[in-house]
Each structure stands twice: as C-alpha cells, then as structure tokens.
Amino acid sequence: MQIIDTLTDADFRTPKVEIPACLSEKPVAAAIGFFDGVHLGHRHLLAQVRHEAALRGLSAAAVTFSQHPRSTLCTDYRPRLITSLPEKLSRLEAESLDLCLVLNFTPFVASLSARGFMEVLRRRLNVRCLVIGYDHRFGCGRSETFSDYVAFGRELGIDVVQATELPAEGVSVSSSAVRRALESGDVKQASRFLGYNYSLETLVVPGRKIGRTIGFPTANLQLCDPDRLIPAGGVYAVRVRWANVCYEAMLNIGCRPTIGKALAQTLEAHLFDFSGDLYGSRLTLEFVERLRDERAFVSLESLREQLACDAACAKSILQL
C-alpha cells in the first residue's frame, strides 16, 4: 500500500490540473474516514471500496487523517484513540488497499465544504468513485445529504456510491461502540467489534517494587501514546509481547488501594513464568478478558491470596 501524506493547505487552495508525480496515473475508488480502530464496520466499507474499484478498473484507496478532527475543531478536546496512527496504517494496509492518503486536518481543511473537498479528491488524487459510509457525513457543518454528494459527483466526474451497513445483531459496529465497551471493561465485546484483541503499546518504568515482596513482581507501565484509551479499571487476563516473544500475564489497572492509593491511574503487569529485567523495554499488551474489579484488601496477605486466584483464572483463560 502506498502511503501519501504530502498534501498541504496550498494543495487545496491552488487549482492544479495534473495529478502529483508521487501518485499513479490510474484513477481511484476511495472512502473517507478517520478509521479509528479499523473495526469490522470499517473493513466492511473497505471491502466495498475494493469491489467498486475492481468493477471499474480503479485503484482502491482510503482517505484518512493524521489526528482526530475534533482536536482541530475543539482545541481543548483530548481524543481517546483505539489505534495510534502507525497501527491504523498497518491495519489499513492489511485490507489490501493500493493507496492511503493521510491528511493533516488543519483549520483550513475543516472549513472546506463537501463539494470543495470532493473537488480536491478529483483534481489532486484522481478519485473517480467515492464510496460513502451508510451514515457518514463530511464537509464543514456536515449538512449535505447523500443526494447532495451524488449531485456534486455528477458535476465533478465522480461516481458516488452509498455503502451498505455491516449486518449485526441489533448493534451498530462503530468506533464509539468500541470505546463504550472498553470504558466499561468489556474487552471481549470490544474484540468482537474490532475483529481482533484490543492492544496498547507501553513502556516499563520504575515502580515501588511491592509486588515482588508478595510473590507477584510486576512491570509498571506507561503508555507510549498518551491519547490511547485505557480500559476500565480492574484485573485482566492479557498477553504481553516483548522482543518477539509472547507471554501470558495478568494486568491491574487502577490506583492500588491496598498499598496506599495512587494519585494517578497505574498499569501493572505480572508476566507468568518470566524472570529478568524489563526496565526501559516496550511491551505490547493484548487484552483477552476482564477478571474482576479492583478493590481494597485488609492486608497484603489477603491481596496475595486473591492474586493467586487471579493468576489461576487468567492462565485458564489464556490457555484455551
């Protein structure tokens, strides 16, 4: 998949007839979206892009953005992302697309009308077919309807096709639905929407080293991308990838109420059957199932006994 991220505001303002040299001259079928998570709904849409491209002899493409559009429209907005940009591009590449255009969602881009944006797609990217998500709106104000997009397309030489909704049992698969599942700790439901287990990239940082005194040493973790969404507090069965090796583990997300409540949320992973120094290492956490809420215990011994039960439960889940 060719990734193109060279367009600037000047490309949108200045009429240009020629397609940039970095692009194939082959015309394109494309879909527009932030594609956070590249979940099953997104993949259903992109399958339709590939289908329309094949029917017309076009290249299949996704048009996305390097940052969440709301972070430009609302300067105090902090996104809670399902995927980082590199992970999103990797997952888009797995969808057998030919091209991916990554736009910087600047205030000027945000001010473009739907027609103005479509004109750029036609002129600069050679888009000849635009597949619109069944409930998707774009352009400043997002006031236009699908019929408007079709009319703009006729003027610009773009076939506009409305995508079908992913068949689901009473639930609309969306990035918002994935976030709600994660925020409630239902990582299994999030995985069903995503089509894969939710994961986080983390860095091992120094901790208080109390876990090792009760037989459960933990790696204290910090997010590599602070805008990523952390699931609800509690104890989870997870898989941890480090140095191309996968370890079974359990993870606590919370404030450690038994050993002195932390001021900020902490992430602590206990890797089963592992010994060694992980400080400074990058670990990928893959969430499999939530075991229980975090809670305070009357003593460290009570905590140790519960952790032994958690470990047995996590191992049983992870070894299925």
| 13 or 191: which leads in pLDDT | 191
Q: How confident is the model at residue 16 (pLDDT cuts 50, 70, 90)?
A: very low
Q: Give me the pLDDT at residue 103, please.
A: 86
Mean pLDDT computed over 119-148: 86
Distance CA 124, CA 61 (A): 14
Tell me the per-residue pLDDT of 284-293, one tens digit each, with 9 for 90 and over. 999 999 999 9
Q: Give me the pLDDT at residue 198, please.
A: 98
Q: Give me the pLDDT at residue 20, please.
A: 43
| 303 or 19: which leads in pLDDT | 303
Q: Give me the pLDDT at residue 9, please.
A: 60
Q: How confident is the model at residue 300 (pLDDT cuts 50, 70, 90)?
A: confident
Residue 250, phi then psi, degrees to nearest 5 = -125, 150
Domains and CATH numbers, the chain: 2-162 (3.40.50.620), 197-318 (2.40.30.30)
Q: Give me the pLDDT at residue 219, please.
A: 92
Beta bridge partners of 129: 29, 159
pLDDT at residue 18 tops 50: no
pLDDT at residue 19 tops 50: no
pLDDT at residue 138 tops 60: yes
Q: What is the residue type of 315?
A: K
Distance CA 52, CA 30 (A): 9
Secondary structure of residue 16 in the 3-state scheme = coil
Q: What is the number of other CB atoms lying within 10 angstroms of the CB of residue 67?
A: 16
Residue 303, phi then psi, degrees to nearest 5 = -65, -45
pLDDT at residue 22 tops 90: no
Q: How confident is the model at residue 21 (pLDDT cuts 50, 70, 90)?
A: very low
- Of 299, 196, 284, the C-alpha closest to 245 is 284
Mean pLDDT computed over 291-307: 86
| 102 or 209: which leads in pLDDT | 102
| 11 or 47: which leads in pLDDT | 47
Q: Which residue has the tokens 């709301």?
A: 70
Q: Give me the pLDDT at residue 161, please.
A: 96
